[in-house]
A and B are shown apart, each in its own frame.
Chain A
Amino acid sequence: MNKLEIKKLTKTFGKKNANSNITLTLENGVYGLLGPNGAGKTTLMKQIVTLTKPTSGEIIYNGQSIYEKEDEYRNIIGYLPQEFGAYKNFTAKQFLKYVAALKGIDKNKASQKIDELLNLVGLYEVRNKAVGKFSGGMKRRVGIAQVLLNDPKIVVLDEPTAGLDPQERSRFRNLIADISKEKIIILSTHIISDIEAVARETIMIKNGSVIIKGNHKDILTGMKGKVYKITTDKENEVIDIQRDYKVVNLQRGADITELRVVSDKMPLYASAQSIEPRFEDVYMFYFDLENTKEV
């Protein structure tokens, strides 16, 4: 069994509720954690990996509170923080050996596992190179390798693809897909296409609370009738539409401008027509324009 239950989890910093009454049940598969900056994603993740203790509520793994036997629980988690760094003077192999020691992995087993993982993340050839000389993407791959060292049952990845090029992101998605069997993987990101590609379910957090949890099909079904395309050749109409509606995309042609908007009701423009929703429309519908990132 591999089941993580989060029950009425609240975390307060001073007067601010970073997480408010979150209740979730997670089983094997990839969960995308989506939300704008400051929504409470990292705080939730930090509580799951015991970096910080909740103000109230519980986190239960396989029927037992994670604080009852913390060392044992930490033995089955793998965590990649948002700002991941390694000791610059260590080679990739040395750094992974150190993390293996932290994770209590036997020296001989660790050696074998490290070689496997370095192969998996494509760093075997540079295993004896100092991490300080790696590119950002390579460092992130070291980060993913250390996550998997102890074959964790729960994998928590905080913005793992931030700053990676499209090739690296594609490699990463494939990696997640490979490892996701029999693991709970919680992946927080702003990059909607990452979630669309790999996540079985999406959890959207806003102002510390969960506003949606479900698979993409259901979420997109819920968005039917809320996404519209409006075409216009008048500049002042473009300005009015941007002012009155949430515009997901604006495409200027030679004469005509096409706007993709999300709205509860049909926009009052003759050219407005309902179209098939995409996942970024979901994000825009629930969050503000300034929090939209590249697709």
Chain B
Amino acid sequence: MYNNIIYIEINTRRRNKMIQWELKKIFKAKTGIIIIVVFILLCGSMVFIKPELETQNSHRNEQYELIKNTRKAEVIAQEKLDVKIGTVKEMANSKEKDDFSKGIKQISDKKLKAMETEDTTYKDVSFWKVFDYRATNTFMAFCMVIILIIVCCNIYTDEIISTVENLILTSKNKNRALYSKLSLGILIPTVLYGVYLGIQFIITALQYGMPLNGKLQAIRITDNPLVRDTYTIIQFIAVEIGVMLLILVTLGVIACLCSFITKSSLASTSGFMIFIVTAKMLTVAKPFPSNIQMVLEHTNFIDLIIYFRMFAGAYYGNVKFFGMNFDLINLCLGILAVTIVAAITLSIVSFKKILVR
């Protein structure tokens, strides 16, 4: 057993070494500089990006002029909270008989019970509101996708272009080198997103004070009061971060797969873009029955990134397949997880079948 432990330890170190070499290659090339620049711009620009806080209220008139509510912050915030609780109460008292309304009623009942345990006066949640917004921002996701295209779509095609491909495929550590490339599809989005969250946590704390009241109900920070469960603020943000990470890792692994199965940077990038765009195209063309359409509308990456806040932690009722009811959002998350597994599996198959023809 001791020998097995040593073997695992040595293998892990060797794999880590190959991953280090992959990272070195990325950062020695121009692309490394572009990634750093994009990441710095992203983190820096978030200093200026924030949502409308709970203590603020404004709207635009017909002339599109911004009209700000000048009442006291606490008064505005309490009013907003009262409106959200009012909406939840309405949903809980709904007399509609369809499945979706029944589901909403159930969720609303649970929420009201959870809110009974806490005081319904407004508490300062500015930190969490802003952090949540920055953690799941469309612009952030967009920048991450750009980084994934630059790094992961070229992870193997760069070896073909620099003609080092043959050296890798004929070396003893061929499989380690290939698996380390594949693992970057998971590591890069995970590490980058993690570092981004850390930076945003610090920036937000400096701007809005320390994180307070995280154990209160999540409807205090969401604009949509129909959060699917009685999550606390911290739980809700954790769910959103988990879902965002799932999306980014799925894209990372797919980008790596495109690199393994194509022979040029252009083919890899095009393949990746076509994969992203195809599902969205199908939602516009609507060739499938409504249940499949619903799933497509919630699993195509374009809508997932642009309308992320309407996906993570939300409730959209059930969808029927093969006579069984499935919660739509859970099904979509399952499909994303299956997509990661499929992409990893196909990549491994490509190592054996495609790279060695």
Q: Which residue numbers of A lie inside 8 Å of B, CB to CB? A: 49-53, 71-72, 74-75, 77, 79, 81, 83-90, 98-99, 101-104, 146, 150
Contacts and interface: CB of A to CB of B under 8 A. Distances in A.
A102 B356 contact: no
28 contacts: A49-B170, A50-B169, A50-B170, A50-B356, A52-B356, A53-B357, A71-B172, A72-B172, A74-B170, A77-B170, A79-B170, A81-B163, A85-B163, A86-B164, A87-B28, A88-B162, A89-B29, A101-B17, A101-B173, A102-B18, A102-B167, A102-B171, A102-B172, A102-B173, A102-B174, A103-B172, A104-B171, A104-B172
Interface of B: 14, 17-18, 21, 24-25, 28-29, 162-164, 166-175, 177, 356-357
Given A53-B357, A87-B162, 13 more contacts: A50-B170, A71-B174, A72-B172, A74-B171, A74-B172, A77-B170, A81-B167, A83-B163, A86-B164, A102-B172, A103-B173, A104-B172, A104-B173
Contacts of A98: 21, 24-25
A232 B103 CA distance: 104
B166 A86 contact: no
Contacts of A83: 163
A81 B29 CA distance: 23
Contacts of B24: 98
A53 B354 CA distance: 11
Binding site secondary structure of chain B: helix
Contacts of A99: 167, 171
What are the 4 A-B residue pairs with the smallest beta carbon separation, nearest first? Answer: A85-B163, A102-B171, A75-B172, A81-B166
A87 to B, nearest CB: 6
Contacts of A72: 172
Contacts of A90: 28
Contacts, number: 71
Contacts of A85: 162-164
A89 B173 CA distance: 22
A81 B170 CA distance: 10
Given A71-B172, A87-B28, A104 B14 contact: yes
Binding site secondary structure of chain A: loop
B171 A51 contact: no
Nearest to B168: A102
Contacts of B356: 50-53
Contacts of B164: 85-87
Contacts of B357: 52-53
A290 to B, nearest CB: 28
A51 B166 contact: yes
A90 B158 CA distance: 14
Contacts of B169: 50-51
Contact of B167 (A53, A88, A89, A146): A146
A150 B173 CA distance: 12
Contacts of A79: 166-167, 170
Nearest to B17: A101
B172 A150 contact: yes
Contacts of A75: 172
Q: Which of A81, A85, A102, A150 has the most CB of B within 10 A?
A: A102
Contacts of A52: 356-357
A165 B100 CA distance: 79
A52 B166 CA distance: 11
A85 to B, nearest CB: 4
A50 B166 CA distance: 10
A104 B177 CA distance: 11
Contacts of B18: 101-102
A21 B29 CA distance: 45
Given A53-B356, A87-B162, A103 B171 contact: yes
A90 B167 CA distance: 15
B121 to A, nearest CB: 60
A77 B167 CA distance: 11
A89 B28 contact: yes
A71 B178 CA distance: 13
A56 to B, nearest CB: 16
Contacts of B168: 102
Contacts of B162: 85-88
Given A74-B171, A90-B28, A102 B177 contact: yes
